[in-house]
Structure 1
Amino acid sequence: MAYYNTGKRGEKKDDESAGNRYANPDRSVALQKARIFNDTPINVSKCIPVATEILYMLNQGEQLTAKEATNFFFAITKLFQSPNPTLRRLVFLGIKELCSVAEDVLIVTSSLMKDMTGKEESFRAPAIRALCRIVDPSMLQSIERYMKQAIVDKSPSVASAALYSSLQLARGPGIEIVKRWGNEIQEATNSDNPMVQYHALGLLYLIRKSDRSAVNKLIAKFTTGRYLKSPLAVCLLIQIVAKIIQEESTLGITTASHFDFLETCLRHKNEMVVYEGAHALVNLRHSTGRDLGPAISVLQLFCSSAKPTIRYTAVRTLSQVAMTHPAAVTACNMDLENLITDSNRSIATLAITTLLKTGNESNVDRLMKQITSFMSDISDEFKVVVVQAVKALCLKFPKKHSLMMTYLATMLREEGGYEFKKALVDTLITIVEDNVDAKETGLTHLCEFIEDCEHVNLAVRILALLGREGPKTRHPSKYIRYIYNRVILENASVRAAAVTAMAKFGAFNEELRPNIMVLLKRCMMDQDDEVRDRATYYFYVLDSHQAALYNQFILTPLQVSIVSLERALQTYLTTPAEEPFDLRSVPIAAEPLTVEEKRPRSEAREERAQTGAGGGGAKDSAKATTLLDSYVEQFKNIPQIAALGPLFKSSAPIQLTESETEYVVTCIKHTFAQDIVFQFDCINTLNDQILENVFVNVESQDPAFVINGTIHCPKLECNVKGTTYTRICLPKDDSGATGTFGCTLKFLVKDCDPATGEVDSEEGYEDEYVLEDIEVTLADHMQRTIVPNFGSAWEEFGEENENTGTYALNQYKKLQDAVDNFVTFFGMQPLDRTEKVPDDKNSHLLVMSGVFRGNFNVLVRCKFILAENGVAMQLQVRSDDPDINQAIIESM
Structure 2
Amino acid sequence: MSLASKKDEENGLSTYYNNKTTIIQEARVFNDSPISPRKCRALLTRIVYLLYVGETFGTQEATTLFFGTTKLFQHKDSALRQMVYLAIKELASTAEDVIMVTSSIMKDMQPNSEVIYRPNAIRALCRIIDPSMAQGVERFFKAAIVDKNPSISSAALVSAYHLFPAAKDVVKRWVNEAQEAVNAKSSSSFFGSPSNSYLGWGGSSAPANNGYQPIASTSNITQYHALGLLYFIRQQDRMAVTKMIQQLGGGKSGSGTTLKNPMALCMLIRYAAKVIEEDPNVQRQMFDLMEGWLRHKSDMVNLEAARAICEMKGVTPAQLTRAIAVLQLFLSSPKSTLKFSATRTLATLALTHPTSVATCNMDLENLISDSNRSVATYAITTLLKTGNEASVDRLMKQITGFMSEISDEFKVIIVDAIRSLCLKFPAKHASMLSFLSGVLRDEGGYDFKRAVVEAIFDMIKFIGECKEQALSHLCEFIEDCEFTKLSVRILHLLGMEGPKAPQPTKYIRYIYNRVVLENATVRAAAVASLAKFGLNGLDEKLSNSVNVLLRRCLDDVDDEVRDRAAMYLKVYEEPPLATTYVKEDAVFSLSALESQLVSYISDPEAVEKPFDASSIPKVSREQASRDVARPSSLDTIGVPSTSKAVTPPPQTAAETQSAYVQQLADVPEFASYGVVLSSSFKPSQLTEPETEYQVSCVKHIFKEHIVFQFNVSNTIPDTVLEQVSVVMQPAADAGLTEDFIIPYPSLSTANSPGIIYVSFTRENPGEYAMASFQCLLKFVSKEVDPSTGEPEEEGYEDEYQLEETELAVADYVIPSYVTFASEWDRMRGGASATETFSLSSMDSMKAACDSIIEILNMTPLGGTADPQSATVHTLQLSGMVVGGGGKVLVRCRMTFSKAQGVTLELGVRAEQEQACSLVVAAIGG
TM band (smaller chain): 0.7 to 0.9
- Name which of 239, 242, 245 aligns with 1:219: 245
Tell me: CA distance 1:474–1:811, structure 2 relative to 1, closer, same or farther (3 Å). farther
Superposition pairs of residues 21-420 of structure 1, within 5 angstroms: 26-31=14-19, 32=22, 34-35=26-27, 37-38=29-30, 39-45=32-38, 48=41, 51-53=44-46, 55-64=48-57, 69=62, 72-73=65-66, 76-77=69-70, 79-80=72-73, 82-106=75-99, 108-117=101-110, 119-170=113-164, 172-193=165-186, 194-223=220-249, 226-249=257-280, 253-254=281-282, 256-285=284-313, 291-420=319-448
Matching of residue 650 in structure 1 with residue 644 in structure 2:
no
For the residues of structure 1 that align with 2:493 and 2:487, how far apart are their CA atoms? 10
2:778 aligned counterpart, secondary structure: strand
Shift of residue 162 of structure 1?
1.2
2:751 equivalent to 1:757: no
Q: How far did residue 430 of structure 1 move?
A: 2.7
Aligned to 1:628: 657
Superposition deviation, residue 799 in structure 1? 7.2
1:746 Cα offset (Å): 4.7
Deviates more, 1:148-157 or 1:522-531: 522-531
**C-alpha separation between the residues in 2 aligned to 1:555 and 1:542?**
19
1:745 is paired with a residue whose SS is strand
Tell me the amino acid that sits aligned with residue 586 of structure 2. T
For residues 611-666 of structure 1, the C-alpha deviation after alignment (integer angstroms, 9 at most, x for no partner) is: 599xxxxxxx99x9943233112323163596264232322122222122233222
Show structure 1 runs of 5+ residues with no match. 1-12, 614-620
1:582-621 counterparts in 2 under 5 A? Answer: 582-584=612-614, 605-610=633-638
The 2-side partners of 1:612 and 1:528 are apart by: 43
Shift of 1:90: 3.5
SS in 2 for 1:355: helix
Residue aligning to 1:3: none
Which residue of 1 is the match for residue 193 of structure 2?
A: none
Q: Would the alpha carbon gap of residues 232 and 181 (structure 1) be closer, same or farther in structure 2, given more than 3 Å must change? A: same
Letter in 2 for 1:30: N
Matched, 1:850 2:900: no
Q: Following TM superposition, by how much is the alpha carbon of 1:198 offset from its aligned partner in structure 2, in angstroms? A: 0.9
SS in 1 for 2:161: helix
Cα gap change, 1:182/1:877 in structure 2, threshold over 3 Å: closer, same or farther?
same
Question: Any conservation in 2 of the 1:857–1:879 contact (CA below 8 Å)?
Answer: yes
SS at match of 1:153: coil
User: 1:774/1:483 Cα in 2 relative to 1: closer, same or farther (>3 Å)?
Assistant: farther
Instruction: Report deviation, 1:603.
Output: 10
SS of alignment partner, residue 666 of structure 1: strand
Q: 1:159 to 1:742 in 2, by over 3 A?
A: same
**Larger mean Cα displacement after TM superposition, 552-561 or 479-488:** 552-561
Amino acid at match of 1:630: A
TM-score by length of 2: 0.80
CA contact 1:25–1:57 (8 Å) conserved in 2:
no
Aligned mate of 2:776, from 745, 748, 758: 745
Distance 1:19 1:195, change over 3 A: farther
Task: For residue 638 of structure 2, give the secondary structure of its aligned residue in structure 1.
Answer: helix
The Cα shift of 1:199 comes to 0.6
What is the match of residue 618 of structure 1?
none
CA gap of 1:425–1:799, structure 2 versus 1, over 3 A, is farther
Query: RMSD value over aligned CA atoms?
Result: 4.5
CA contact (8 A) 1:710 1:724 kept: no
Secondary structure of 1:269's aligned partner: coil
| Aligned amino acid, residue 302 of structure 2 | V
What do the CA deviations read for 1:697-720 (whole angstroms, capped 9, x no partner)?
A: 35459x566575562636564544
Change in Cα spacing, 1:418 to 1:284, as seen in structure 2 (3 Å) is same
Conservation of the 8 A alpha-carbon contact between 2:617 and 2:816? no
SS of match in other structure, 1:210: coil
Amino acid at match of 1:93: L
State whether residues 731 and 772 of structure 2, in contact with CA within 8 Å, keep that contact through their aligned partners in structure 1: yes
Q: 1:753-776: per-residue Cα shift (whole Å, max 9, x none)? A: 7755335467x47x55252x4456
TM-superposed deviation, 1:173: 1.7
Q: Distance in 2 between matches of 1:202 and 1:575?
A: 57
Aligned equivalents of 1:291 and 1:730: distance in 2?
A: 54
Change in 2 beyond 3 A, CA 1:569/1:769: closer
SS at match of 2:556: coil
- Structure with the bigger RCO (C-alpha within 8 Å, sep 6+) is 1
Checking the alignment, whether the CA contact within 8 Å between 1:692 and 1:714 is kept in structure 2 is: yes
1:804-823, aligned counterparts within 5 Å?
A: none
How far does residue 403 in structure 1 lie from its aligned partner after superposition?
2.5
Partner secondary structure for residue 121 of structure 1: coil
Deviation at 1:305, TM superposition (A): 2.6
- Looking at structure 2, the residues matched to 286 and 593 of structure 1 have their Cα atoms a distance apart, in angstroms, of 31
Closer, same or farther: CA 535–102 of 1 in aligned 2, 3 Å:
farther
Residue type at the aligned position of 2:174: W
Gaps of 5+ in 2: 187-219, 252-256, 642-649
CA distance change for structure 1 residues 431 and 878 in 2, over 3 Å: closer, same or farther? farther
The Cα offsets for residues 685-735 of structure 1, whole Å up to 9 and x where unpaired, read as 45568575632435459x566575562636564544444445678898999
1:497 counterpart residue number: 525
Give the conservation status (yes or no) of the 8 Å contact 1:466–1:501.
yes
The answer for the alignment partner of 1:681 in structure 2 is 711
Indicate how the Cα distance of structure 1 residues 710 and 188 shifts in structure 2: closer, same or farther if over 3 A, else same. same
- Against the structure 1 CA distance between its residues 628 and 29, is the aligned structure 2 distance closer, same or farther, given a 3 Å change threshold? same
Secondary structure of 1:122's counterpart equals coil
Q: Distance in 2 between matches of 1:688 and 1:461?
A: 54
Size of the aligned set, in residue pairs, is 856
CA drift at 1:496: 3.3
Residues 579/548 of structure 1: CA separation in 2 closer, same or farther (3 Å cut) = farther
Correspondences of 1:364-763 after superposition (within 5 Å): 364-505=392-533, 509=537, 511=539, 516=546, 518-540=548-570, 543-547=573-577, 550-551=580-581, 555-561=585-591, 563-565=594-596, 567-568=598-599, 570-572=601-603, 577-584=607-614, 605-610=633-638, 626-636=655-665, 637=667, 639=669, 643=673, 645-672=675-702, 677-685=707-715, 690=721, 694-699=725-730, 706=736, 708=738, 711=741, 713=743, 717-719=747-749, 720-726=752-758, 741=772, 743-747=774-778, 757-758=791-792, 760=794
Superimposed CA distance per residue, residues 425-482 of structure 1 (whole angstroms, 9 cap, x where no aligned partner): 2222233333344433333322322222212222233333334444444444444443
Deviation at 1:365, TM superposition (A): 1.5
Q: CA shift at 1:608, angstroms? A: 1.7
Q: Could you tell me how far 1:160 is from its partner in structure 2?
A: 0.4
Q: Deviations over 1:128-183 (max 9, x none)?
A: 2233233332443443332222222221111101111111221x323333223333
Q: Is the contact made by 2:617 and 2:654 (CA closer than 8 Å) also made in structure 1?
A: no
CA distance in 2, matches of 1:804, 1:439: 40
TM-score (norm 1): 0.83
CA distance in structure 2 between the partners assigned to 1:420 and 1:328 by the alignment: 30
Say if 2:864 and 2:873, in contact at 8 Å, map to a contact too.
no
**Deviation per CA, 1:70-109, whole angstroms, max 9, x where unpaired?**
5555555555455444444443333344333455544554
Identity %: 42
Change (3 A) 1:500 1:847: farther
Q: Which amino acid aligns with 1:526?
A: D
In 1, Cα distance between equivalents of 2:720 and 2:68: 62
Distance 1:390 1:489, change over 3 A: same
